[in-house]
Amino acid sequence: MKSHVQIPKSILKNFAHKSKKDGLIVDYLDLVDNTIKTEKIRILDTKEDYYSEEFDKTMGKIFETPFGDISKKIRDFAMKKNSNISFSEKETKAVLHFCNNIFLRGEYALNKANEFSYTSIIQPISQEELIGSTRANLFRGNWINIIVNKTKTGFIIPRNCIYVKKSETPNKLHYIFPLSPWVAMILMPEEEAISMETEKGSREYFYIDDESSVKILNNFALKIETGTNNKFIVGDKIELQRLKEQL
């Protein structure tokens, strides 16, 4: 059985376009050889027997399915299918758990875990063991907000899924997770989110209407991917070409 190592098919499909021959496909910049390529979403970032079938199904049930429902809710709001949106405590926890799971699925997290493990010299920690045994959540203390992209330049998404930028709160970060070319989820410190609340669970959201701001965020996405797994970024070919020229 082939498993998606880090970025799930459910996320990739939001950046995909249709091919008569191959179904849903995405364009991506391969950071290993610095070339723009195209691949089926069911194949990109997969490995045979990387996770056991039971473990893969468990991750889908516990992490991906709840997050998928929230992602659709956000994307529907961005497309103006719903006039308002708010997030419950349960939904917030589901998002934080999913983001933590995604981070732990990357080689960067695995390499760091083995680097600081006394027993890894004898028996290295596997990705499945790291995910199953880790209880701490890197994203604890953050609340959900949304960035709606109103420009013609779409967000790109790194294989790492999440990238960071500085927040207004000292020593804390904003974690940005693109859900499609036109909307991204942003995890921000609780105190910042509370200051934007209009009513319980509902807050003012961010809208971007200038392409330079989108490109700055895409630059952050490229930077975090090259600094972690250094695998690939997914997006529109024109924007991928611009980012390719920065490498």
Determine the angle formed by the axes of helices 65-78 and 89-104, rounding to 10 degrees.
110
Give the global pTM: 0.91
Q: What is the pLDDT of residue 212?
A: 96
Distance between terminal CA atoms of the chain?
A: 35
**Is residue 75 a contact partner of residue 13, using CB atoms and an 8 Å limit?**
no
Q: How many CB atoms lie within 10 A of CB 209?
A: 10
> What is the SS3 assignment for 91?
helix
Q: What are phi and psi of 155, to 5 degrees?
A: -65, 145
Do the Cβ atoms of 108 and 127 come closer than 8 Å? no
Consecutive H or E run containing 190:
helix 190-195
Q: Is the pLDDT of residue 237 over 90?
A: yes
Average pLDDT, the chain: 91
Burial 110-119 (b: 16+ CB within 10 A, else e): beebbeeeee
**Residue 143 is encoded by which pair of tokens?**
């609340």
Nearest CA among 88, 71, 76, 86 for reference residue 203: 86
Query: Which phi and psi angles does 156 have, rounded to 5°?
Result: -105, 160
pLDDT at position 201, please? 62
d(CA 93, CA 173): 18
Bridge partners, residue 233, by sequence: 29, 158
**Token pair belonging to 166:** 């500085």
* Residue 202 confidence (pLDDT): 67
| pLDDT tens readout for residues 53-84 | 999 999 999 999 999 999 999 999 998 877 77
Q: What is the pLDDT, as a whole number, of residue 101?
A: 96
State the Cα–Cα distance between residues 187 and 98, nearest whole angstrom: 12
In the predicted model, is pLDDT for residue 166 greater than 90?
no
pLDDT in tens, 1-52: 789 999 999 999 999 999 888 899 999 999 999 999 999 999 999 999 889 9
Q: Residue 195: is its pLDDT beyond 90? A: no
